Amino acid sequence: MQDSRLSDSALLPSGFADLLRRQASTEFTLRTTILSRCAAWGYALVRPPLCEFADKPPSPPEDGSAEVSAFRFLDPVSHRILALREDMTPQVARLADSRLKQAPRPLRLCYAGEVLRTNARQIDHERQRLQIGAELIGDDSLAAQVEIILLTSECLAAAGVKTLSVDLAWSRLSHLWLDSLSLSPAEEANARTALAARDEATLGQIAKGALLPLLQAAGTAREVLAQAQAAFPKVLAEPLAALEQLVARLEGESDSLPPETRLTADLAESRDFSYQTGPAFSIFAPAARTEVGRGGVYRTAQGEAACGFSVYGHQLRRALGVQDEVQTLEANPNAVYAAAAVSFARCAELRAEGWSVVRGLDKPPDPVAEAKRLNCAHYLLSDKDKPRPL
C-alpha cells in the first residue's frame, strides 16, 4: 500500500516504479551480459528510437485477451500521431526492411531498451520494462530456430538463470483448427476467448468439444506431441511435424543447453504471439511470475522470413531473486569510505583496483560512523592505509 505520508510528487502511475541501486545495477548488468553474448554470436547492436509515427490504428487482439497497445500523442513538429514503442522487435524488422535492406542475409541484430504499454496483464503489472533481444532476419529455417533458442538459453545462463523451461508452441495452431471447423463468427469469437482463458466449460459447448484436446496438450514436449499426433485433426499434421523436428534438433544439441533445461510444449498458447507465423517459444524460470522471455518465427512488414527472441528485465530480476531496498540504500560491499585526509590520487588508485570510493568532503568526528552512515562496507583513513572492513 502506498505510504500516505509521501507527498503527491512521489506517487507514480500504476505499472511504473523507481528502481534503486540493487535492481537498477542488476538491469544494467543484465543488459551488458546479454548483449555481449549476442555480439559473440555475430549479432550487431542497433538502437531504434523511443517513438515512431503511428501510421496504423491499433488492431484488436485476435485471441480475445485484453488489448495491449502503445501510448500515443500528437507530435508538435510534424502534427502527426506518434506512438511510444511497446515492442522493439517490429522496430528492428523495420530497420531490416529499410536502412539495412541491402545488407547481407541472414542479418543478425541485437538491441536493448525501455518499452511502454498502456495496459498491464493480470499477473504482470509492469507497464514500463527493459526489453533485450536479438533478431535473425532473412532465414526462419530449422537451423535458424535452433540458433535462436540456443542463444536465448546461453544469454540467460550467462545472466545467472540456470534452471530453464523452454516451452514450445505454434503461434496460429488454434486458428488453423478453428478454420477447419466452419464455425459461425459468434462461435469462433467465443472459442478464441475461451482458449485464451483456458475455459474448458465453454469449449466443451463449441463444436461438440472438438477443441478440448488443445487445452490438454501441455507438458513434456515429446509426450505432448505424441498425444497431439493421435488426437489432433490432419490439418495440423504439418505444424506438429515441424515441432517434432525442432524438439529432435534441440535434444541433439542438449550439450549446448544449460544442464537443467526442460523442453516442454503448450499447444494452446497463443498469447503475445500476435505477429509470429510458426514455431514459437516461451522461457520460464522458477522464481519469475510469468515467462522471462519469448521468441519465434515471424515475417517483417516486407514479408521477409525472420526469427528472434526477447527477454525482460523485471522478470529476470525476479528469476534471480533480486529484491530492491524499500526506503534506504543498503551497504555496498565494494564501497570504501575515504576520509577527507585521503588524497584524490590515492582514491584513483583504489578505483583502478576495482573499489567504489566515496571520499569524505569534510572531517567528521567519527570516520567509521560516517562510513556506516553512507552505506560503505570499508573505510580508509590515510594515503598509507589500506581499506579496512567495518
| Domain assignment present for 150 | yes
pLDDT in tens, 308-318: 999 999 999 99
Q: How many domains does the chain have?
A: 2
Residues 185, 48 share a domain: yes
Per-residue pLDDT at 262: 95
Residue 369 has phi, psi (to 5 degrees) of -65, -35
On the question of pLDDT at 113 being above 50, the answer is yes
| Domain assignment present for 326 | no
Last residue in a domain, options 319, 345, 380? 319
Per-residue pLDDT at 325: 62
Mean pLDDT of the chain: 90
| Domain assignment present for 122 | yes
pLDDT in tens, 163-177: 999 999 998 898 889
| Domain assignment present for 280 | yes
Chain centroid to Cα 385, Å, comes to 46
User: Which set of grid coordinates corresponds to residue 380?
Assistant: 580508509
Per-residue pLDDT at 7: 45
Residue 53, domain extent: 13-319
Residues 373, 228 share a domain: no
Residues 67, 34 share a domain: yes
Specify the amino acid at residue 277. T
The DSSP H or E segment spanning 114 is strand 107-116
Query: Model's pTM, two decimal places?
Result: 0.89
Residues 6+ apart with CB under 8 A from 354: 334
Residues 138, 105 share a domain: yes
On the question of pLDDT at 82 being above 70, the answer is yes
Parallel/antiparallel/unpaired status of strands 305-312 and 128-137: antiparallel
Residues 336, 313 share a domain: no
- Which of 45-49, 60-64, 133-137, 366-370 is the least confident region? 60-64
d(CA 20, CA 57): 36
Query: Which residue matches cell numbers 532465414?
Result: 139
The domain that holds 111 is classified in CATH as 3.30.930.10
Per-residue pLDDT at 288: 86
Residues 228, 130 share a domain: yes
d(CA 61, CA 271): 9
Is the bond preceding 106 in cis, omega lying within 30 degrees of 0?
yes
| Domain assignment present for 188 | yes
Q: Is 251 helix (H, G, I), strand (E, B) or coil?
A: helix
- Which of 2-6, 142-146, 147-151, 370-374 is the least confident region? 2-6
Closest CA to 148 of 249, 7, 5, 23: 249
The DSSP H or E segment spanning 307 is strand 305-312
| Domain assignment present for 100 | yes
Residues 160, 126 share a domain: yes
Average pLDDT over residues 145-155: 97
| Domain assignment present for 381 | yes
Residues 251, 152 share a domain: yes
Average pLDDT over residues 56-80: 70
Per-residue pLDDT at 348: 97
| Domain assignment present for 325 | no
Residues 339, 304 share a domain: no
Distance set, CA 288 to CA 218, 263, 307 (Å): 19, 18, 24
Parallel/antiparallel/unpaired status of strands 388-389 and 376-380: antiparallel
- Please enumerate, as own/partner, the contacts of 338-344 that have beta carbons within 8 Å and a separation of 24 or more: 338/379, 338/380, 339/363, 339/367, 339/379, 339/380, 339/381, 339/382, 341/381, 341/382, 341/383, 342/380, 342/381, 342/382, 342/383, 342/385, 343/383
Query: Which is it for the CA torsion 256, 158, 324, 124, positive or negative?
Result: negative
Residues 6+ apart with CB under 8 A from 94: 48, 52, 300, 301
Last residue in a domain, options 284, 319, 354? 319
Please, which pLDDT band fits residue 58 given cuts at 50, 70 and 90? low
Residues 82, 23 share a domain: yes
On the question of pLDDT at 190 being above 70, the answer is yes
Task: Answer for the pair 352, 386: CB distance below 8 angstroms, yes or no.
Answer: no
Residues 49, 191 share a domain: yes
User: Which set of grid coordinates corresponds to residue 95?
Assistant: 530497420
Please, which pLDDT band fits residue 67 given cuts at 50, 70 and 90? low
Average pLDDT over residues 76-85: 95
Residues 105, 35 share a domain: yes
Per-residue pLDDT at 8: 52
Please, which pLDDT band fits residue 364 given cuts at 50, 70 and 90? confident
Specify the amino acid at residue 326. V
